[in-house]
Structure formats: structure tokens, C-alpha cells
Amino acid sequence: MNASVQLEDLSVRFGDFTAVSNVNLNIDGGEFFSFLGPSGCGKTTVLRTISGFLAPSTGRVTISGTDMVGIGPNNRPTALIFQNLALFPLMTVSENIAYGLRIQGFSLTERTKKADELLELVALNGMGTKLISELSGGQKQRVAIARALAVQPKVLLLDEPLSALDLKLRQHMRTELRAIQQQVGITFIYITHDQGEALTMSDRIAVMSDGVVLQVGDGRAIYDNPTSAFVASFVGENNAFSGRVTRIDGNLAQIETSTGNLVGRNPKGLSIGDKAILFVRPENLNFGQTLGNVEFEAKFNSAAFEGNATHIHLMGAHGGEITVTLSRSDDFNVPAKGTSLKLSYQPALGLILADGALASD
């Protein structure tokens, strides 16, 4: 059983500080929905408001249409997995998982049986009698998930659960979490600052910054068609060139920058004279010249080998850094530092958006 979550005009204020501002969202039942944003953007506040630990200053949270006002976390059909997991250190794994059931009055045999089922679901068979202190980070993570699932919530809320794990484990848990969600079928609301996690696991993502939801969409929409400079620069790597719009040609536009005249798509319909930023993804830039492509020059700085890809860092005429990502199969001879190289990209792969704050600011 799963539930949908609606946030209507949700704002949360602490004194003078507005943590969350006018969020309007409809999360479908059974969806894996992520809130993505840098630290301090308000995503934890949203999560705690949905789970009932915080009350909205304005607006409301409804779950499957029922207004949650005045209902505490213990009475909502939600379960929260905390960032530090908050497992009970004096209880065994099995007792931790079955705690919610113990509260509900189930007998010991029933609880042990349910705990064993859940241990199997999270691939921790036979670990029921261990103490929490005997577990590794990844195992503790799974106990936390099992404990939350034991009370059969309709919505599972996860607060950056993978941030304390090492890289390999994080990657492994991404697929596992997604698999568990699809198997159990409940709504997952996941918050993270890691876009890789958000992109690989979610059905839809809401990108947040400074308490405001900037864009909602699936992974491709967010990555290929960001609607604001922040989203374009936060999700994945992106090269940014500031300038002014000088020409419009159908759905393409040209902006004049210190690096030269660059062409890109103009989905927002900016007019001539508007201040704009052109974005090109590092993987869409090529070295050399190709007919029909937009060209410009940059000075070579360094090359970083990352296994399956090589990142070339260059310095653009606009004074900013430019990154080109080449896959393993591309040839690249490392020149001397400062050598001027020609770069090009297909016009449709450039994106022109209104001038705004970038993620790195």
C-alpha cells in the first residue's frame, strides 16, 4: 500500500529565516521522488515537515488527500530514516527492526518472524542476534531500512542515507535501494546533495536552492533541459559563458561573449539584448573543427585521467575554466600548458538561459 503526498503552498520559517518557501508539489503513490540541492537549501526541512517533526508556517501537507495538520510523526503513515540512522545501541538487530511492531503489541514470535523476513529483504539473513556495534556502515544502513519498513509505512522518507558510506558501497546501495523500492512498491521520498544518486534512482527529481524548488522533472529533463542557470550548473558538470543575446534564428539564438559569438537553443525565448548564459556540457565539446559546429578557442591547462574518462581543463578567453570530457576511446595528445586549442560543439547542444546565480557561487 502506498500513498501520494501533496505539498500545497508550503513555507517553513524559523524566526526571520525562511527555510522553505512556497513549495507546491504532487508526489505520486509508488514514486521514487528525490529532493536534490546543496547543503542548507531546505530539503531536510521539507522532509521533517512531511514526517511531522516540524509544522508548516503556511500551507499544508496532505497524504493521499488527508490534511496532516496536528498529526504527529507517530500517527502519520510515514517512516523516516535519519541521516545518522539513529539505531538503538542497546538492542540487537532483530529487536531494532521489530521495535515498531513491539509498540503495536505483536507477540515475540510474530515479531521475530517479521524481522527475519525483512532481514532477508535487505540481504542480512541470520544477523538478527548481532548488536548494532558489530555491524559495518552498509549493514547498519540496511537495518535502518528494515526497521522503517517493519511498520509498513505508505511513504518512506530518507534523509541522505548514503552520505556516510564509501564510494563503492554507495554505488551498490543505489541499485539496492531502487530494487527494494520497486519490490515493496511504496512511495520513497529521498533527499540528497549528490546528483549521481538522484539521477540513477529517481522517477522524478525536484532541484532546490535557498528554500525554493527550481525545477521538477525526471532525470533526462533535469539534465538535458534545465530551466534555470542554477539547475544547469548544479546537475552534472556544465561550462558557462556569460554574455548578451545578439541574434535570434527560430529556436536558436546567438550570444556575444568574451570568448566569441556562441550559438545555442533558446527554449526560454530570450530577446535580443537580454543578459544570458550559454551552457555546454563537457561531454558535448570536441577538439578540432567540424562543419556546422560552433567554434571557439581556449588555452590548455591540465588533463585528469579518471579511468573511464579523461577530463581536460582549459582556460577560456572569458577568464573562466572550461572542461572537456573525453571517453576512453577518444584520442588525445597532451600538449604543453598554455597551448591554444580549438573547441567546437553542435549548436543544438548549447543551451541559453537567463542570467542567474550558478551553483558554484
Residues of this chain that interact with other proteins (CB under 8 A) are 51-53, 72-75, 78-80, 82, 84, 86-90, 99-100, 103-104, 147-148, 151
Closer by beta carbon to other proteins, 100 or else 226: 100
| Minimum CB–partner distance for residue 293 and other proteins (Å) | 53
| Minimum CB–partner distance for residue 233 and other proteins (Å) | 33
Torsion 72-77-81-87 (CA) sign: positive
Closer by beta carbon to other proteins, 35 or else 99: 99
Closer by beta carbon to other proteins, 100 or else 316: 100
Closer by beta carbon to other proteins, 50 or else 326: 50
Closer by beta carbon to other proteins, 80 or else 231: 80
| Minimum CB–partner distance for residue 202 and other proteins (Å) | 23
| Minimum CB–partner distance for residue 217 and other proteins (Å) | 30
CA distances from 346 to 94, 132, 221, 264, 317 (A): 57, 54, 19, 8, 20
Query: Where does the chain have alpha helices with state H?
Result: 43-51, 93-97, 99-104, 108-121, 137-150, 167-184, 195-201, 219-224, 229-234
Closer by beta carbon to other proteins, 63 or else 216: 63
| Minimum CB–partner distance for residue 29 and other proteins (Å) | 20
| Owner of C-alpha cell 551552457 | 279
Using alpha carbons only, give the angle 319, 320, 321 rounded to the nearest 5 degrees: 130
Characterise 338 by phi-psi region: left (phi > 0), alpha (psi -120 to 50), beta (else): left
| Minimum CB–partner distance for residue 337 and other proteins (Å) | 46
Closer by beta carbon to other proteins, 155 or else 222: 155
Distance CA 58, CA 22 (A): 8
| Minimum CB–partner distance for residue 294 and other proteins (Å) | 52
Angle of helix 108-121 versus helix 137-150 axis, rounded to 10: 130
Using alpha carbons only, give the angle 315, 318, 320 rounded to the nearest 5 degrees: 50
Mapping DSSP to helix (H, G, I), strand (E, B) and coil, where does residue 41 land? coil
Closer by beta carbon to other proteins, 19 or else 80: 80
Check residue 131 and report its DSSP letter: B
Angle of helix 167-184 versus helix 108-121 axis, rounded to 10: 120
**Contacts for 134-143 with beta carbons within 8 Å, 24 or more apart?**
135/93, 137/164, 137/165, 137/166, 137/169, 138/165, 138/169, 138/172, 138/173, 140/85, 140/87, 141/85, 141/165, 141/173, 143/85, 143/87, 143/93, 143/96, 143/97
Q: Which three cell numbers stand for residue 158?
A: 530518507
Closer by beta carbon to other proteins, 88 or else 332: 88
Distance CA 356, CA 299 (A): 26
| Minimum CB–partner distance for residue 198 and other proteins (Å) | 23
| Minimum CB–partner distance for residue 359 and other proteins (Å) | 29
